[in-house]
Structure 1
Amino acid sequence: KLVTVNTVVLQGKLLQKARIIFEYSTQGFYLLTAISDLCCCSGVIYLKNMVTQHWSEGDNANTEGSTSNIPEEDRQFIRDHIVEAIIQSPERLRVQLTTCIHHMIKHDYPARWTAVVDKIGFYLQSDNSGCWLGILLCLYQLVKNYEYKKPEERQPLVAAMQIFMPMLKDRFIQLLPDPSNDSVLVQKQIFKILYALVQYNLPLELINRQNLTEWMEILKTVVDRDVPPETLQVDEDERPELPWWKCKKWALHILARLFERYGSPGNTTKEYTEFAELFLKGYAVAAQQVLLKVLYQYREKQYVAPRVLQQTLNYINQGIAHAVTWKNLKPHIQGIIQDVVFPLMCYTDSDEELWQEDPYEYIRMKFDVFEDFISPTTAAQTLLFTACNKRKEVLQKSMGFCYQILTDPACDPRKKDGALHMIGSLAEILLKRKIYKDQMEFMLQNHVFPLFRSELGYMRARACWVLHYFCEVKFKIDQNLQTALELTRLCLINDNEMPVKVEAAIALQVLISNQEKAKDYITPHIRPVMQALLQIVRETENDDLTNVIQKMICEYSEEVTPIAVEMTQHLKIFKKKKRYAYVKNMELILEEKKLHIINCI
């Protein structure tokens, strides 16, 4: 039996019709496979646009002219069949349909659509494994609608999840022995639901001592289990997208979030005080033991997906401050720093490849704040800082390790880069500790200044970076300050490698801002310095460098006045370039849309 759904959007007059054809079977409604993919995709995209723009009576409040929403009869039909459509649709259509159900839940649940909970419950309990992923996508959209709401606004979700949480747990336990692709995809989706549920608020009505124990066992099992060996045949760049690694990533997301936000006594809000004590004393160490095995695998050169490594380091970092987890971690910390943190902070083959092939992309990646949120290197840097800041003996041993590398004349330059990366990351601590702060000028003089003559661009860039992070060091010898400024200035103006010039620009500005005598030394050179800065901004379009120019103008307001016209011309060219790039980008987007419309027709 064929059912044709006409959904009509009226705006003063009938504008358009969208038809989605469903075929009824014993398993429910699903998109008719006989329809060409192109027509089917076009219809679903039209349905998505119609639902997102016209579903709610409030959606059209700001549009001009008279508008009318989707008729209630059609809306009810869509409510009745959207869940089955998502379950039965191929992945390329699910993306559009899940956007539809997200919007429908946002406006209709719970007031006009409590039936969605009944449907989700029905299919979650079904023995037909083919429907599990689709129904979990529906449940995920329900949870996502409440992800950022205040606890008092989440009651409709909590009421639904009191039904679903036991089902999800039982389904996961059932799937754990099955390592197949389809099974692990379902497991991953359950974790995504759980993470969205607890990311900003932990519903204590749903998480109690008994089910927390069961969920923690599930999480540890997933993190600890082996990834199928055949995945090593997949290209390394593509492995993180495999479901086995994604499932581990989401398990670690949950563990790290529980520990950081709810399981750390002293760092939580009062409603989570009891939970924090329970988590720290009852679960944190056991989870830590499993995560130490992940770090051991990385240490032994076994492949670990970057996000898995990053989240593992985040969890380990959280345990440094607490006595119970530190006691378990302490025997391992030096090994972690030397065999995990240090390699992550060294210049790598992938860094070299990107530097040589696309230095501008290398700059963008290194200065992208969003990259920092997902970078194992940033997580390693944070762990190192926390350990050295909270545990004195760690700082002493780490600095000894770094100095051993720096003083070895035969040492691999990449290892020296890693050692300087570690020392620079600890600059804030080192400049506050009497035993170290008086040695930092000597360290710069003996181990950083010589690197400005290195043939390796990344070493010159690291030298600039270290000066940036030690910009507040108290120079006892004026000549050392002058040397630091001169070396940085020459890198900015004369170096042939753009990443080096960018690091030099930032280092020079912070040195001028933090060293009283620096301003006078650079004054005679301000014209070529500003010209170099403007040229780099034009070429890289880096926002950090725009801030550098602003601060330099503030420092040298009188000195830059004679070259103000020239600077204005530079900036005008830069703005035109950005505007041209924006226009060309928009033209490309519009051209792609035209082609898509033509294909649909």
Structure 2
Amino acid sequence: MDVAGLRDRIQATLDANGDIRRQAELDLKYAESQPGFPNALCDILQAEQDQAVRLSTVVYLKNRVIRGWSPEEDHSLHKPIPEEERGSLRNRLLPMLASSPPPIRSQLVPMLSKILQHDFPEKWPNFMDITLQLLNGSDVNSVFAGLQCLLAICRVYSYKVTEDDKKAEFDEIVDHSFPQLLNIGSRLVNEESEEAGEMLRTVMKAYKHAIYMELPSHLMSDQATVDWCTLFLRIIDKTPPPCSMTGEPADRELTHWWKSKKWAYANLNRLFVRYGNPSALGKSSKPDYAQYAKMFMTAFAPEILKGYLQQVDKWVSGGLWLSKPALYYTLVFLEECVKPKAVWDHLKPHIENLVAHLIFPLLCQTDEDIELFDSDPAEYLHRKLNLFEEVSAPDAAATNFLIALTKTRKKQTFSILTFVNSVVSKYESAPDDQKLPREKEGALRMIGSLASVILGKKTTS
């Protein structure tokens, strides 16, 4: 295929003249079904200096690969990429990933996932060898490319590991790659740059997908659990870098460092909820899971709880801002600690403070709530009445914690009612100019969330 002519057509799609643009798009639509189109796009990507042309090129390449790698499985009418062209595409993809700037890289990653989904390991047997070389490289771009490769393969296997042969394959992948992944994560947590935050976020997500359905054998060892949980707690405890603390709270939550914290919380929660709580294991669980759960409950869960409570203390004192996901995952973990005696004994002394200084403030109206009520009452009602539709909503998690606490530890109901009564009494006795309606509404919301427990048959047992 004429690479120069193809490049000319891609550049023409950026022309201000609509007629020129439309003709170029028609020409490219014809070209994409011709032999050599994907590799010609790779030639342009590797040689081009104009960033706009590069970005357009990689979008065309991504679309061609995603639509044409397995059109029969996707029930697509697009022409499949010829088998004889696929090998060179696989060989060129990882070097391009390692040498490309972020906007290009973000378009290459979906291609990588698509190809791995269909070709690994049979048609791409050296993929993990290349990934390990990248992870062990000294160049930052190479290491980042290696992290993205590992994340992509973890995603591919996250739902396949329930099959015995796939679990064995993935166990081998984790055995060879996760020690280095841990080393990289342990170095990154000490850095401050936005790029380091993005790389650390990738490390966290690779672990997330690796343990999503099954726990790989390597990660079940005591030492691996110690090392990874230590890393997660270090990330959670890390003072947020300045680059992650600018702008509005909603903007902060989208930064790589806060996303890293979010996934560190989520990974600890997943370990505890799915694998670390003996009473939550199903009858069909493997015997080694029972042993792991017993070990996790006694040795790790109390330390994780301690780390979470330290963050809550800082948030309560005003010395730390926490994102909504951080508060949400904290409360989910606290809820899981209510029933098992091994962790309840550690949580119980903190309950009154948690109710007064964490749960109650989260159930009070915020400035954001008031603004929404004034500007869009219908949306406000939808938000409050459909609370559980919102992912990572701290007030929903606070409500769930209260319900679990009063259902499982019924004696705690009386201390909660005493607290609510004190808030309402304070409101009623205060002069009109000193009344705090938000506090009264928050207290009544606590009562409302506990209605089913308070009105139940056995509330005093």
Is TM > 0.5 for Structure 1 vs Structure 2?
A: yes
2:392 counterpart of 1:374: yes
Residue 122 of structure 2 aligns to a residue whose secondary structure is coil
Deviation at 1:185, TM superposition (A): 2.0
Question: Which residue pairs with 1:121 in the alignment?
Answer: 132
Q: Distance in 2 between matches of 1:353 and 1:313?
A: 26
Deviates more, 1:95-104 or 1:232-241: 232-241
2:155 counterpart of 1:161: no
Query: Structure 2 vs 1, CA of residues 230 and 14 (structure 1 numbering), >3 Å: closer, same or farther?
Result: closer
Of 420, 423, 426 in structure 1, the residue corresponding to residue 444 of structure 2 is 420
Task: Report the AA paired with residue 34 of structure 1.
Answer: Q
Question: Which residue pairs with 2:24 in the alignment?
Answer: none
Of 40, 49, 62 in structure 2, the residue corresponding to residue 34 of structure 1 is 49
Residue 105 of structure 2 aligns to a residue whose secondary structure is helix
Partners of 2:246 and 2:252 within 8 A in 1: no
Partners of 2:62 and 2:108 within 8 A in 1: yes
Task: Report the AA paired with residue 352 of structure 1.
Answer: I
Task: Report the AA paired with residue 453 of structure 2.
Answer: I
Deviation at 1:307, TM superposition (A): 0.7
Question: Which residue pairs with 2:12 in the alignment?
Answer: none
Q: Distance in 2 between matches of 1:63 and 1:432?
A: 55
Residue 159 of structure 2 aligns to a residue whose secondary structure is coil
Question: Which residue pairs with 1:54 in the alignment?
Answer: 68
State the Cα deviation string for residues 155-198 of structure 1 (Å, max 9, x = none). 32222121101111122223333233222321221011001111
Residue 196 of structure 1 aligns to a residue whose secondary structure is helix
2:291 counterpart of 1:274: yes
Query: Structure 2 vs 1, CA of residues 52 and 327 (structure 1 numbering), >3 Å: closer, same or farther?
Result: same
State the Cα deviation string for residues 341-364 of structure 1 (Å, max 9, x = none). 001001111001112123333244
Residue 154 of structure 1 aligns to a residue whose secondary structure is helix
Of 252, 263, 270 in structure 2, the residue corresponding to residue 239 of structure 1 is 252
Provide structure 2 residue ranges, at least 5 long, that are not aligned to the other structure. Answer: 7-27
State the Cα deviation string for residues 266-291 of structure 1 (Å, max 9, x = none). 11133221111010011111111110
Q: Distance in 1 between matches of 2:268 and 2:156?
A: 22
Task: Report the AA paired with residue 294 of structure 1.
Answer: Q
Query: Structure 2 vs 1, CA of residues 229 and 17 (structure 1 numbering), >3 Å: closer, same or farther?
Result: closer
Q: Distance in 1 between matches of 2:458 and 2:304?
A: 37
Question: Which residue pairs with 1:288 in the alignment?
Answer: 305
Partners of 1:297 and 1:304 within 8 A in 2: no
Question: Which residue pairs with 2:18 in the alignment?
Answer: none
Deviation at 1:68, TM superposition (A): 4.7
Question: Which residue pairs with 2:205 in the alignment?
Answer: 192
State the Cα deviation string for residues 534-561 of structure 1 (Å, max 9, x = none). xxxxxxxxxxxxxxxxxxxxxxxxxxxx
Spell out the pairing of 1:401-412 with structure 2 (5 A cutoff).
401-408=419-426, 409=428, 410=430, 411-412=435-436
Question: Which residue pairs with 1:339 in the alignment?
Answer: 357
2:216 counterpart of 1:203: yes
Structure of greater Rg: 1
Q: Identity over aligned residues, as a percent?
A: 27
Q: Distance in 2 between matches of 1:248 and 1:228?
A: 12
Deviation at 1:376, TM superposition (A): 0.7
Partners of 1:3 and 1:21 within 8 A in 2: no
Deviates more, 1:131-140 or 1:97-106: 131-140
Residue 391 of structure 2 aligns to a residue whose secondary structure is helix
Deviates more, 1:137-146 or 1:236-245: 236-245
Q: Distance in 1 between matches of 2:46 and 2:386?
A: 42
Partners of 1:320 and 1:326 within 8 A in 2: yes
Deviates more, 1:225-234 or 1:167-176: 225-234
Residue 220 of structure 2 aligns to a residue whose secondary structure is coil
Q: Distance in 2 between matches of 1:297 and 1:85?
A: 44
Query: Structure 2 vs 1, CA of residues 231 and 203 (structure 1 numbering), >3 Å: closer, same or farther?
Result: closer
Query: Structure 2 vs 1, CA of residues 235 and 75 (structure 1 numbering), >3 Å: closer, same or farther?
Result: same
Q: Distance in 2 between matches of 1:367 and 1:74?
A: 54
Q: Distance in 2 between matches of 1:233 and 1:53?
A: 39
Query: Structure 2 vs 1, CA of residues 211 and 36 (structure 1 numbering), >3 Å: closer, same or farther?
Result: closer
Task: Report the AA paired with residue 130 of structure 2.
Answer: K
Task: Report the AA paired with residue 300 of structure 2.
Answer: Y
> When the two structures are aligned, how many residues end up with a matched partner?
426
Task: Report the AA paired with residue 322 of structure 2.
Answer: V
Partners of 1:147 and 1:200 within 8 A in 2: yes
2:444 counterpart of 1:429: no
Of 133, 143, 149 in structure 1, the residue corresponding to residue 154 of structure 2 is 143
Query: Structure 2 vs 1, CA of residues 216 and 335 (structure 1 numbering), >3 Å: closer, same or farther?
Result: same
Question: Which residue pairs with 1:513 in the alignment?
Answer: none
Task: Report the AA paired with residue 289 of structure 1.
Answer: K
TM-score (structure 2 length as normaliser): 0.85
TM-score (structure 1 length as normaliser): 0.66
Partners of 2:453 and 2:459 within 8 A in 1: no
Residue 238 of structure 1 aligns to a residue whose secondary structure is helix
Deviation at 1:433, TM superposition (A): 4.3
Of 16, 30, 41 in structure 2, the residue corresponding to residue 20 of structure 1 is 41
Partners of 1:117 and 1:160 within 8 A in 2: yes
Query: Structure 2 vs 1, CA of residues 417 and 291 (structure 1 numbering), >3 Å: closer, same or farther?
Result: same
Q: Distance in 2 between matches of 1:241 and 1:216?
A: 23
Query: Structure 2 vs 1, CA of residues 17 and 78 (structure 1 numbering), >3 Å: closer, same or farther?
Result: closer
Query: Structure 2 vs 1, CA of residues 9 and 164 (structure 1 numbering), >3 Å: closer, same or farther?
Result: farther
State the Cα deviation string for residues 16-62 of structure 1 (Å, max 9, x = none). 94542448xxxxxx64451341x3222222222221221137437x4
State the Cα deviation string for residues 95-142 of structure 1 (Å, max 9, x = none). 221111111001100111111111111100001122222221221111
Q: Distance in 2 between matches of 1:68 and 1:5?
A: 22
Partners of 1:151 and 1:201 within 8 A in 2: no
Partners of 1:294 and 1:309 within 8 A in 2: no
Deviation at 1:212, TM superposition (A): 1.0
State the Cα deviation string for residues 361-405 of structure 1 (Å, max 9, x = none). 324433456643310111111111111111123111001111222
Query: Structure 2 vs 1, CA of residues 5 and 103 (structure 1 numbering), >3 Å: closer, same or farther?
Result: farther
Higher strand share: 1
Query: Structure 2 vs 1, CA of residues 112 and 338 (structure 1 numbering), >3 Å: closer, same or farther?
Result: same
